[in-house]
Amino acid sequence: MLDVRELRSGYGNFEVLDGVGLRVEAGQIVALLGHNGAGKSTLLKAVFGLLPVRGGTVVFDGVDMTQARAFEKTARGMRFVPQEGNVFQNLSVEDNLRLGALKLPGDRAALTGRIEEIFATFAILRERRASRARVLSGGERQMLAISIALMTAPKLLLLDEPSAGLAPLAVARLFELIQQIRDRLGATVLLVEQNVNEALRVAEQAYVLEEGRMVFHGPSADKENIVRKLWRLAGKTSP
Amino acid sequence: MMSALQVLAIGFGLAGYYALVAVGFALIFATLRIFHIAHGTVFLMAGYVFFFLYRVGGLDVVSSGVLSVIVAALTGLAIDKAVYLPVMRRGGGLFSVFIASLGVALIFEAVFLVFTKGIVTVARTTALGIVSVGPVAFRLLDIFILGVVIVVYGLLYLWLHCTRRGLEVRGLTDNRALAAVVGMNVDQTRNVIFLLASALAGIAGVLTAYDTGLAPDTGSRTLFIAVVAVILGGVQNILLGSIVGSVSLGILTAYAGFFFPEWVTFSVFAMMIILILIRPRGLFG
């Protein structure tokens, strides 16, 4: 589904990613872990086309999309949910969903049908359909952010720290939702998370990024090893 | 002696011009964060093209007006393509774009000054019709301008709220970064915004050329008042903010111009500063 090789990218003259590789198979949830500043969000943005790629390749769904822009990747079925600023605050829930459907093929009826499907999955959003996004709770807002991305039934969903700032109950609900997205909707998920336990619980594969380089890749079942690796990178020997 | 009601009628006439320029400026600023000083140049370009087509070339008024508005729309788009986009693609920030815009406005103003020798050029050749309602006399042109403003704002409202492109514009206004994330082709939407906003400034330019006439600094003077109107109304609310700001300033400048003509500029900017101190995001920001 996604094959990233020797990727180099960054901000301005500052290079953050130094030849990063990553592979996500169709139907998987893959966790991308690492400490703050490791380059996880940068990797997602570069893969999605929001940051310039200075080297390496990004192959998505069998097509080389290294230099493709975000709207072209969206049209092919890749969606990205940023960590912050991921909803249109002053627009209604329904308008947010409609903006998520810019690349949805079909007519107005197809759009209405898709919105109803989303409301069937997220009942609270139906109740809040006319409310502005800024009045939603943190959990509801995150639900809306993911729903915006789901409007076009994506093949690959890039989630950037979706649990950041959420209450524990909302975090549990969120990870259930991520599993549902894969199991029921058939989307592949590349998940950047700080919540290592929950991320490894739902993911099949895990990568660990440190200072712009991939330092670990393996099955998420190898949790002990991954956690130890993360602690070592943090300069600690044990939790 | 002119009555207070008569001055009010003049104020509404002025508000029409300000509103047409202000709504375009607000559209560009709210969505793209570009402080488009050269919007006044677009206004002026339409006015001068109209003057040459109608007054010098002898073309009929409607064809001259339509062609001038088209030239204005293309001028606005050309400024974005030839100046703003290259500046941004080379890493220039919004301040660099602002300086570039100022440069474009000053260059055009200098060119217009050379060609017109600074003389006020009035496109119309006949006196304006007047209709009286009780003690108040309305100029037919002012009524026409208010009609144009009502139609333009009504169509803009429908466009923003009932079309996909309008939804994109509202999305851009709210969160530009997310607009790209949801798959919006921002460059395409940007073209539409520049064409539309410039056409609106063009309408104001044509009407001004027909009404009071143009001088090389008319564009910048009108733009400054329109910018104040946008700031007063609140940038985020494109339609309501620009119309309320424009009407307020139209009435203010009419009364100030009548009672204290030398204090018009002072009144406009004093009002802006006071309101910014009280409501930094404007009335509807």
pLDDT score of A123: 85
**What is the pLDDT confidence band of residue B173, given thresholds at 50, 70 and 90?**
very high
CA distances from A74 to A40, A44, A57, A77, A101 (A): 20, 14, 18, 5, 10
| A94-119 per-position pLDDT tens digit | 999 999 998 777 778 888 998 998 89
**What is the pLDDT confidence band of residue A185, given thresholds at 50, 70 and 90?**
confident
- Average pLDDT of the segment spanning B263-267: 89
- Average pLDDT of the segment spanning B192-219: 95
CB proximity under 8 Å: A 82-121 to B: 82, 85-91, 95, 98-100, 102-103
- Average pLDDT of the segment spanning B62-84: 97
**Residue A81 in this model has a pLDDT that exceeds 60:** yes
pLDDT score of B68: 97
pLDDT: which is higher, A198 or A229: A198
- Report how far residue A56's alpha carbon sits from residue A78's, in angstroms, rounded to the nearest whole number: 19
Contacts of A37 (CB under 8 A, 6+ apart): A211
Give the distance from residue B98's alpha carbon to the nearest chain A alpha carbon, in angstroms: 21
Query: What is the per-residue DSSP string for B96-115?
Result: HHHHHHHHHHHHHHHHHHHH
**What is the pLDDT confidence band of residue B112, given thresholds at 50, 70 and 90?**
very high
User: From A73, which residue of chain B is nearest by alpha-carbon distance?
Assistant: B183
**Residue A238 in this model has a pLDDT that exceeds 60:** no
pTM (predicted TM-score)? 0.86
**Residue A171 in this model has a pLDDT that exceeds 60:** yes
Query: What is the per-residue DSSP string for A168-187?
Result: HHHHHHHHHHHHHHHHTT--
CA B189 to chain centre: 20
Hey, are the CB atoms on A98 and B236 less than 8 Å from each other? no
**Residue A230 in this model has a pLDDT that exceeds 90:** no
Flag whether residue A152 sits within 8 Å of chain B, measured between CB atoms. yes
| B147-160 per-position pLDDT tens digit | 999 999 999 999 99
Look up tokens 């006319």; give the residue. Answer: A130
Average pLDDT, chain A: 89
CB pairs under 8 A between A and B: 60
Give the distance from residue A85's alpha carbon to the nearest chain B alpha carbon, in angstroms: 7
- Average pLDDT of the segment spanning A186-202: 90
Q: Burial letters for B29-57: b for 16+ Cβ neighbours within 10 Å, e otherwise?
A: bbbbebbbbbbbbbbbbbbbbbbbbbbee
Answer for the pair A88, A136: CB distance below 8 angstroms, yes or no: no
- Report how far residue A26's alpha carbon sits from residue A12's, in angstroms, rounded to the nearest whole number: 33
Flag whether residue A164 sits within 8 Å of chain B, measured between CB atoms. no
- Average pLDDT of the segment spanning A205-228: 84
Percent of chain B with pLDDT over 70: 99
| B38-71 per-position pLDDT tens digit | 999 999 999 999 999 999 999 999 999 999 999 9
pLDDT score of B29: 95
Flag whether residue A51 sits within 8 Å of chain B, measured between CB atoms. no
**Residue B23 in this model has a pLDDT that exceeds 60:** yes
- Report how far residue B81's alpha carbon sits from residue B53's, in angstroms, rounded to the nearest whole number: 26
pLDDT score of B1: 54
pLDDT score of A237: 56
Among candidates B164, B178, B183 on the partner chain, residue whose Cβ is nearest the Cβ of A86: B178
Hey, are the CB atoms on A71 and B180 less than 8 Å from each other? yes
Q: Burial letters for A176-196: b for 16+ Cβ neighbours within 10 Å, e otherwise?
A: ebbeebbeeeebbbbbbbebb
**Residue A147 in this model has a pLDDT that exceeds 60:** yes
User: From B161, which residue of chain A is nearest by alpha-carbon distance?
Assistant: A95
User: From A150, which residue of chain B is nearest by alpha-carbon distance?
Assistant: B182
pLDDT score of A226: 78
Percent of chain A with pLDDT over 90: 48
Give the distance from residue B229's alpha carbon to the nearest chain A alpha carbon, in angstroms: 22
- Report how far residue B109's alpha carbon sits from residue B40's, in angstroms, rounded to the nearest whole number: 10
